[in-house]
Structure 1
Amino acid sequence: MSKLTTEVKNVISRQGVFPIATASRDGVPNVVPMTFVKVYDDENLLVVDNFMHKTKQNIESNPYMSICVWDQENKLSYQIKGKVTIHDLGPVFDQARVWVKEKMPALQPKSAVLLKVTNIYVCQPGESLGQEL
């Protein structure tokens, strides 16, 4: 299991839109732009389900997700992969709902998705391209 480093956390905190990739049980890919993504703790990312349709169907049958994060100014980029769990009740969902209400009060979150980080790969050009952190 990979842990989110300070550098990766900083990149995530500066990014506004995150491409989230999932795949159906049959391997059909799906990528969507998400704005409600943040570090939950050293091993998890929180993704809020405000409008998920295909993405939610995919993770219900194939609970794996990949997220690409980047910082153009500092020329840093990472691919984060992991297994997800859906929370529609309890403290994870409650925290997600509070976060969304602070940012966009009109939205009604449907669930919270926790991505348990399993792998982080370097995506910026250079000697470490493709290497796992």
Structure 2
Amino acid sequence: MTVITDDMRDIIASAMLSYAATTCPDGTPNLSPKGSVRAYDDDHLIFMDIASPNTIANLKANPSIEINSVDVVKRRGYRFKGTAEILQPGHEAYEWLNFWLLDLNGPGYPAHQTVLVRVDKVSAVESPAYTFGSAEEEELSETWYSRHEAAHNAATQGSAEGVWKKQ
């Protein structure tokens, strides 16, 4: 059974930044952004440990993990719950992801180890606009893309605060 669909792969790619949630030894959550999340195969996600000492320490003590990937323009995404395995350089999955990162960014990123996540459960994340509104994805995407573009432009010129106020 395929857990990771083509739509999930597309969302992960378009989100460009996902968030990994682990549990600290004292039981508190640890949420860490990950720019290297990819679907490795139909059952696994993968990301590189570039600067993630807390995430790695938490996973060594408790391999349970949740990864959220949300395309902010489409206003939808997925929650992936699973079990992590830490892989060292030389492992096929490590080399696969490291090759992609080097091709994307060039040399210079310290790729310490890879986290391979067996996905056990997936659930959708959607804006309430899909549930309670009459908006379709194309309409929401156009609106949110315009807002993000305006916020980016305003931020480069001073403050983006006014962009989010209702006109």
TM-score of the pair, normalised by structure 2: 0.70
> Retained in 1: the 8 A contact 2:15–2:72?
no
Alpha-carbon offset, residue 2 of structure 1? 6.7
More strand by share: 1
Aligned to 1:31, what secondary structure does the other structure show? Answer: strand
| Correspondence for 2:92 | 91
> Retained in 1: the 8 A contact 2:82–2:119?
yes
2:55 and 2:2 map into 1 onto residues whose CA distance is 23
User: Which has the higher Rg, Structure 1 or Structure 2?
Assistant: 2
More helix by share: 2
Moved more, 70-79 or 88-97: 70-79
Q: How many residues align?
A: 127
Moved more, 109-118 or 97-106: 97-106
TM-score of the pair, normalised by structure 1: 0.86
For structure 2, the 5+ residue unaligned runs are 133-167
For structure 1, the 5+ residue unaligned runs are 128-133
Map 1:24-39 → 2, pairs under 5 A = 24-39=24-39
| Correspondence for 1:10 | 10
> Retained in 2: the 8 A contact 1:2–1:119?
no
Alpha-carbon offset, residue 74 of structure 1? 3.1
Alpha-carbon offset, residue 49 of structure 1? 0.6
Alpha-carbon offset, residue 72 of structure 1? 3.4
Moved more, 40-49 or 3-12: 3-12
Alpha-carbon offset, residue 7 of structure 1? 1.5
Residues 79-98 of structure 1 deviation map (CA, whole Å, 9 limit, x = unaligned): 11100101003211111221
The percentage of aligned residue pairs carrying the same residue is 25
2:9 and 2:98 map into 1 onto residues whose CA distance is 21
Aligned to 2:47, what secondary structure does the other structure show? Answer: strand
| Correspondence for 2:150 | none
Tell me which stretches of 4 or more aligned residues in structure 1 moved more than 4 Å: none
Alpha-carbon offset, residue 48 of structure 1? 0.5
Cα RMSD over matched residues?
1.8
Alpha-carbon offset, residue 119 of structure 1? 0.6
Aligned amino acid, residue 18 of structure 1: S
1:10 and 1:72 map into 2 onto residues whose CA distance is 13
Asked if 1:80 is matched to 2:64, the reply is no
1:98 and 1:64 map into 2 onto residues whose CA distance is 26
